[in-house]
Structure 1
Amino acid sequence: MIIISKHIIPDKFVGLTIFPFIFLKNKDLKGNRTLVNHEKIHLKQQLELLWVPFFLWYSVEFLIKLIIYKNWHEAYRNISFEKEAYQNESNFNYLNQRKLFAFLKLL
């Protein structure tokens, strides 16, 4: 389910997924198939790990990457969950062919 809310989404972001919802900053973004597909990949990841373990893993991996890269943006882009989503956001069949725990190969 897609919800429009500019207040929930942090600055510099246009979308955020918290299972079972996709939050978008404005209604025009609902038509952005690539963005919505990116967020749907996150839905699948969160479903696999369940909500709390997903966000714990995401946070710990981000902190480790921040130590490694010493740059917030580089750390974010190199989180395995984000790498999977960015690499496959334009492949609209990806979720149909995605293997279980596919993000693991991107650690």
Structure 2
Amino acid sequence: MYIVVAKYLIPEGYAALTVFPFVVLRESESQQNLVLMQHEQIHIRQQLEMLVIAFFLWYFAEYLFGLIRFGNHNLAYRNISFEKKLTRMRKTRNF
């Protein structure tokens, strides 16, 4: 995993974006946020398991479906199965 800090590549309201093998952070201080870094490490693993391209096709298909369904970017993002799984993991495993 390679960490890159690039404030203007990350949409407003988000801290990071992961595209194997890179984690792009909005702020360099985010490297100290263990919950965020674990979240992004899991996205790296998910991308590897799905051979990267399949992950992004699935991820964006779910996002677009959610955007049509909810008409709201934040709700569409929160309802992507990969994000929902990480939210459940965070609540149950205290990572």
SS at match of 1:64: helix
**Any gaps of 5 or more consecutive residues in structure 1?**
94-107
1:49 Cα deviation from its structure 2 partner: 0.7
Higher relative contact order by CA 8 Å / sep ≥ 6: 1 or 2? 1
Q: Deviations over 1:1-30 (max 9, x none)?
A: 221111221222110000011111111110
CA distance, structure 1, for counterparts of residue 90 and residue 29 of structure 2: 18
**Any gaps of 5 or more consecutive residues in structure 2?**
none
Instruction: Give the structure 2 partner of residue 72 of structure 1.
Output: 73
Which TM-score applies when normalising by structure 1?
0.78
CA distance, structure 2, for counterparts of residue 20 and residue 33 of structure 1: 18
Instruction: Give the structure 2 partner of residue 56 of structure 1.
Output: 57
> What aligned pairs does 1:40-55 form with structure 2 within 5 A after superposition?
40-55=41-56
CA distance, structure 1, for counterparts of residue 89 and residue 24 of structure 2: 19
Residue 16 of structure 1 aligns with an amino acid whose one-letter code is: L
Which TM-score applies when normalising by structure 2?
0.86
1:75 Cα deviation from its structure 2 partner: 0.9
Instruction: Give the structure 1 partner of residue 89 of structure 2.
Output: 88
CA distance, structure 2, for counterparts of residue 88 and residue 3 of structure 1: 25
The structure-2 alpha-carbon separation of the partners of 1:52 and 1:22, relative to structure 1 and needing over 3 Å to count, comes to same
CA distance, structure 1, for counterparts of residue 4 and residue 94 of structure 2: 21
1:88 Cα deviation from its structure 2 partner: 2.2
Aligned length: 93
Ranges of 4+ aligned residues in structure 1 off by more than 6 Å = none
Counterpart contact for 1:3–1:21, Cα < 8 Å: yes
The percent of aligned pairs where both chains have the same amino acid is 43
CA distance, structure 2, for counterparts of residue 39 and residue 86 of structure 1: 12
RMSD (CA atoms) = 1.7
